[in-house]
C-alpha cells in the first residue's frame, strides 16, 4: 500500500520539483508528521506541482485540508493532514529557509524507491 507521503513525494518528483527535502516532523512539531519542501523555477511550475500533489492525493482518497498561496505561485502550502507540502519559487526558498528553521527535524531519504 502506498502511503500519503509516497504519493505526495512522487507527485512533486513527477512534476520536476527541485531539491526535494522530506523532514520527519514526528516529535518535533504538532503541525504534521512530515514536511516535503521543494522549489521550482517559475510561478507556473510551482502551481503545476501543487496541482499534481492535490490531484494525486485526491485520486488515492486523501483530500487537502487547505492550500494557500496558489494564485501567486511563490510559496504554496498544501496541508494534507499528516503531510504538509511546501512548494516554493526558487527565489523564495532561500529566504524562508525552512530546512534551517526546522533544523532539529531529521531528513528522510525518499530517493531509494526511484
Is residue 35 within 8 Å of 86, Cβ to Cβ?
yes
| Domain extent for 104 | 4-113
The residue among 5, 113, 112, 109 whose CA lies nearest residue 56 is 5
Q: What is the pLDDT of residues 58-103, one digit of tens each?
A: 999 999 999 999 999 999 999 999 999 999 999 999 999 988 888 8
Render pLDDT for 8-29 as a digit per residue (tens, 0 to 9): 999 999 999 999 999 999 988 8
Q: Return the CATH number at 12.
A: 3.30.460.10
pTM: 0.93
Domain count, the chain: 1
Element containing residue 84 per DSSP (H, E): strand 83-89
Residues 6+ apart with CB under 8 A from 63: 57, 80
Amino acid at each position: 500500500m502506498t502511503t500519503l507521503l509516497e504519493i505526495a513525494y512522487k507527485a512533486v518528483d513527477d512534476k520536476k520539483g527541485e531539491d526535494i527535502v522530506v523532514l520527519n516532523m514526528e516529535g518535533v512539531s504538532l503541525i504534521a508528521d512530515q514536511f516535503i519542501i521543494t522549489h521550482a523555477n517559475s510561478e507556473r511550475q510551482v502551481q503545476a506541482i501543487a496541482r499534481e500533489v492535490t490531484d494525486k492525493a485526491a485520486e488515492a482518497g486523501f483530500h487537502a485540508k487547505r492550500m494557500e498561496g496558489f494564485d501567486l505561485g511563490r510559496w504554496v502550502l498544501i496541508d494534507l493532514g499528516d503531510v504538509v507540502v511546501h512548494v516554493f519559487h526558487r527565489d523564495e526558498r532561500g529566504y524562508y529557509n525552512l530546512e534551517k528553521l526546522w533544523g532539529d527535524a531529521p531528513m528522510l531519504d525518499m530517493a531509494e524507491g526511484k
